[in-house]
Chains A and B, each alone.
Chain A
Amino acid sequence: MHLNNKGMTAIELLVTFVLVAVIVVSLYNGVVKLKEKETISSAQLSIDTYKNLITKDIQDDFIKKGLVSADIKALTSEEGYQVNFLFKDNSRKVLKVVQQFGCTATDAEEAADICTKRGIDKNASDKFSISYGPEGDIVEYPLPDLGHEVISGIDGGADHTVYSLKINEVNIVSKNRVFSLHITLTHPDLESDYSIDIVTPLNYP
């Protein structure tokens, strides 16, 4: 049998390399974009799951038990709000929303400019959480960790952590026989904010 053992010429090899290089370069941007899209979709899914879980737990109580009153007050030990719910069956539950912004500055000068002026300690960490449950047995629903940064302590202070996903806005209203809770979650890489919206009539038969 006569084998073809001539091999490839230099020009053939060169053309092949050029073609492969063109294909790789043209696909690279697409792959990077798809990767970014996948990361964003995954973050959106985490937030949606978190939002659905909290909404379902609270709304189910409002629908099944019926809300009689909602007593809203500011937290004393940390920044945020606490709402004491009374239901028709005389059971009580508590909702606690902690919204404490940490200091994103990396040096003392920046900390004085962007943190101290806003009343934030220069070594403070972010603290965001939503807790809900019966009095004395509140369950914390930790925000999904969608990226965080550990910042070295300023002026010899402790290292602190700032998270990408933050509770940006808390609006709790109880008036005109309607209770509403609006919590906005924000992430710099996502195009829009996400909100937890719960509305229910108060003391309604």
Chain B
Amino acid sequence: MKKNNKGFVLVETLVVTVFVAAIFSVIYLNFYPLAGEYERRTFYDDIDSKYGAYWVKFFIQRDSYPNISYSFLGTNCYTDFSCNNLTNSNDREVCNEMMDRLNIERAIITYYQLSENADGGSNADKDPKHAGLKSKADSVFSDDPALASYIHYLPNYEVKSLNGARFRVIVKFKRSGDSLEDEEFYTTFGTMEVIKGAS
């Protein structure tokens, strides 16, 4: 039997090399952003943010915080939480002290479900599934892209809360990195459901 021992010509080798290189480039370009995304998500729902969000929810659920309703949130589907809205002065003082020590930069109250089918407004009063912050996040938080990014990261919460929660609180923390060389700040986020208010 006569064997074919001519091997590949240069063009064949080049074509295969370019083809393999192209495949690796596509894989690299698709996977590289995932590493950054993973690192960013380490600042979402960490244990300190979860417990911090719990204490904000604690004050919202207290009797001294105004009863929240769908119309309370308005067409933007959210309202900023402020300790100063608490009617009890003791609650206000403790709440402000907690906000300060927890390094809370901002807390918002929104609907429990963050549905993409948001059209808010009057429909929100009728059907909470139509009320959502996700599709509006980029426009209403154009001054706070980190918060918008966290809202996009959160699921829609299509399944209703087992505890009957209609609202949720989203909390942004400004934390000190305590870098060994110089002090750095970074933000973390946490969310909790809020069991309060009329439908």
Contacts and interface: CB of A to CB of B under 8 A. Distances in A.
Nearest to B5: A4
Nearest to A55: B47
A192 B179 contact: yes
B180 A186 contact: yes
A188 interface: yes
A191 interface: yes
B48 A178 contact: no
A193 B178 contact: yes
A56 interface: yes
Given A192-B179, A193-B177, A199-B101, A59 B94 contact: no
A180 B178 contact: no
B118 to A, nearest CB: 32
Contact of A176 (B1, B51, B97, B177): B97
Interface string A120-142: 00000000000000000000000
Interface in B82-123: 93-94, 97-98, 101-102
Contacts of B102: 197, 199
Interface in A138-171: none
A192 B47 contact: no
7 contacts: A1-B3, A178-B101, A192-B180, A193-B178, A197-B102, A199-B51, A201-B94
A74 B101 CA distance: 22
B94 A177 contact: yes
B43 interface: no
Interface in B158-199: 177-180, 184
A201 B55 contact: yes
A4 B3 CA distance: 10
Contact of A192 (B54, B101, B177): B177
Contact of A199 (B1, B55, B93, B178): B55
Interface string A72-85: 00000000000000
B104 to A, nearest CB: 10
A200 B55 contact: yes
A199 B94 contact: no
A194 to B, nearest CB: 8
Interface of B: 1, 3, 5, 47-48, 51-52, 54-55, 58, 93-94, 97-98, 101-102, 177-180, 184
Q: 4 tightest CB-CB pairs across the interface, nearest first?
A: A193-B178, A192-B177, A178-B97, A192-B179
A39 B47 CA distance: 23
A198 B48 CA distance: 8
Contacts of A192: 177-180, 184
Contacts of B48: 55, 197
B147 to A, nearest CB: 21
A178 B98 contact: yes
A177 B98 CA distance: 9
Contact of A193 (B55, B58, B180): B180
B169 to A, nearest CB: 16
Contacts of A198: 51
Given A192-B177, A201-B94, A201-B98, 7 more contacts: A1-B3, A55-B51, A173-B101, A178-B98, A191-B179, A193-B179, A199-B52
A195 B103 CA distance: 13
B4 to A, nearest CB: 12
A197 B103 CA distance: 10
A51 B49 CA distance: 13
